[in-house]
Amino acid sequence: MSNGLIQVGLFSVLVTAVSVPLGLYMARVFTDRRTFLDPILRPLERAIYRVCGVNPGSEQSWVQYAVSMLLFSAVGMLLLYGMERLQWFLPLNPQKFGGVAPDLAFNTAASFTTNTNWQAYAGESTMSYFTQMAGLAFHNFVSAASGIAVAIAVIRGLVRRAAQTIGNFWVDLTRATLWVLLPISVIGALVLVWQGVPDNFSAYTQVKTVEGTTQTIAQGPVASQEIIKELGTNGGGFFNANSSHPYENPTPLTNLIELVAIFAIGAGLTHTFGEMAGDRRQGWALFATMAILFLVGAGSAIWAEQRGNPQFAAMGIDQRESAGQSGGNMEGKEVRFGIVDSALFATVTTDTSCGAVNSMHDSYTPLGGLVPLVNMQIGEITFGGAGSGLYGMLVMAILAVFIAGLMVGRTPEYLGKKIEGREMKLAMLFILIFPAVILVPAGIAVVTKAGLAGITNPGPHGLSQILYAYTEASANNGSAFAGLNANTLFYNSTLAVVMLFGRFLMKVPVLALAGSLAVKKSVPPSAGTFPTDGAIFVILLVGVILIVAALTFFPADALGPIVEHLVMIHGKLY
């Protein structure tokens, strides 16, 4: 346990140290203040605007902003679908992979367009280098940039006074890509290459094993896609084994780099918010809320996995830590990382919308697997995805101040903006869409032949597999209880629709909320104003988040991982 505390503590310190300068840098980028990269990137930015016909000085209403975002995503999804279907005719395909099946291509195109990066296929045996680079990696950048852009638009809606516009989507998208994602990815990719992650166009290598058999060792442009997979909270692995594969994550240092990269932008945007709001304490309040949720989740997952399975102990199997074994539940985990780094990775990747994994969540204990599930069910706002974590947390903050206002009989305010009926309707629409697109299709799956056919572990664990699949799809996460056989017409189609709804049906009301707040005038604080930058607000916000998630998902969770935990303890369900 002391080892776990040290590792989680070190990771928390690194994330905090990285998030502050990165957040302040992003505030400069999106308020059009000078940065050290301007001499290199300004000419490129101007060239992009000229080619695309964008007027960077023209701002958009929330409707125009939303339409631009939706059109850009729709065109990108169609291009990726076509690329997958036609990859046999495209270059950089040394393995001669054929076109991807229609339902799988649709699922994958929806997945990468929505920043979900769910994979119902093995990357090294399905996708060509060209599709991986020009298709999947491209979307890793622009889907993350799109999420950051929406978060910045929501911040503008909160901090502007009597404004009709919330920025320009094309400018925000371009600046997020050029100033934030690309520079960090270039440096990160070089570090990963230094640590042993390959980055080449070589054909797969055939080698003879010591047993005399032939083994195929996959190659490819891995490092350049691995870093944006983590930084953009995308999660789709070049290889089927994802970040447990030694070519994606070969050393303890790469594991730490990838963990910090997953949290970096989500944590940094809290400080971007504080800086743009003119009160950094507001950003720190959101950071503290996210940190509390993260630490509770990480501690619970590590504890559950280190305890192991009591049924094994009853059979006389020693699960205690010793010089000869790590102890606890090592099923589905890499010995290179052990329980602590595996459970920490599982927590971090589901706190955000990343979905990268260095262990198999399907093999976790019921409570250990419940932690990633709950992380997604609270909306992945614990630092969260690139942009989506911040705007999700801001919606919950608005709900929290509304509840506080009801308790004291006063119109609630947040950053000097009165929260009235229109804002609460939009906030509740945002909150209710999420469980609806999880529970409805999951319910259909458990009562239909096509849905039940994908279950590999009947019983409560099978329900957990289905619930997890639709939760990660709606949360745009992409991790999985990998025991579910999801590469079928039923799951490829329904999960793709859930990904699209979970991404875009939630972005539109949050942009509408930003537009509604932007037109409001500022209300000066008074003696009755509830402060939103202190410990009381943080506690209230944590409570609201947990209560909303529990009221929504506890009945479903009780039938899945919680029942499975009781069976594991007692050997049967009473």
Which of these, 202, 197, 243, lies nearest to 220 by C-alpha position? 202
The answer, yes or no, to whether residue 573 has pLDDT greater than 60, is: no
Residue whose token pair is 């509740």? 428
pLDDT score recorded for residue 252 = 93
Q: Give domain status of residue 474, yes or no.
A: no
Long-range contacts of 561-566 (CB under 8 A, 24+ apart): 561/366, 561/367, 561/369, 561/370, 561/373, 561/460, 561/464, 562/366, 562/370, 563/460, 564/366, 564/459, 564/460, 564/461, 564/464, 565/365, 565/366, 565/367, 565/370
Number of domains in the chain: 1
Task: List, in sequence order, the alpha helices (H) in 176-236.
Answer: 182-194, 223-231
pLDDT score recorded for residue 325 = 67
Strands (E), 412-502: 413-414, 417-418
Per-residue pLDDT, averaged over 410-420, amounts to 88
Tokens of residue 49, six digits: 């605007």
pLDDT score recorded for residue 311 = 79
Cβ(204)–Cβ(185) under 8 Å?
no
The fraction of the chain above a pLDDT of 70, given in percent, is 98
Q: Give domain status of residue 113, yes or no.
A: yes
**Domain coverage including residue 35:** 18-278
pLDDT score recorded for residue 386 = 92
pLDDT score recorded for residue 41 = 96
Q: Give domain status of residue 243, yes or no.
A: yes
Please state which of the ranges 3-7, 221-225, 497-501, 502-506 shows the lowest mean pLDDT.
Answer: 3-7
Give 109-132 pLDDT, tens digit per residue: 999 999 999 888 888 889 999 999
Q: Give domain status of residue 205, yes or no.
A: yes
pLDDT score recorded for residue 1 = 60
Please state which of the ranges 45-49, 196-200, 255-259, 457-461 shows the lowest mean pLDDT.
Answer: 457-461
Q: Where residue 335 falls among pLDDT bands split at 50, 70, 90?
A: confident
Query: Model-level pTM?
Result: 0.95
Give 241-253 pLDDT, tens digit per residue: 899 999 999 999 9
The answer, yes or no, to whether residue 480 has pLDDT greater than 90, is: no
Q: Give domain status of residue 257, yes or no.
A: yes
User: What is the residue-averaged pLDDT of the chain?
Assistant: 92
pLDDT score recorded for residue 243 = 93
Give 280-311 pLDDT, tens digit per residue: 999 999 999 999 999 999 999 999 998 888 87
Q: Give domain status of residue 517, yes or no.
A: no
Q: Give domain status of residue 333, yes or no.
A: no
Q: Where residue 327 falls among pLDDT bands split at 50, 70, 90?
A: confident
Backbone angles phi, psi at 131, to 5 degrees: -65, -40
pLDDT score recorded for residue 324 = 64
Give 91-104 pLDDT, tens digit per residue: 999 889 999 999 99
Q: Where residue 486 falls among pLDDT bands split at 50, 70, 90?
A: confident
Q: Give domain status of residue 495, yes or no.
A: no
Tokens of residue 36, six digits: 């050290």
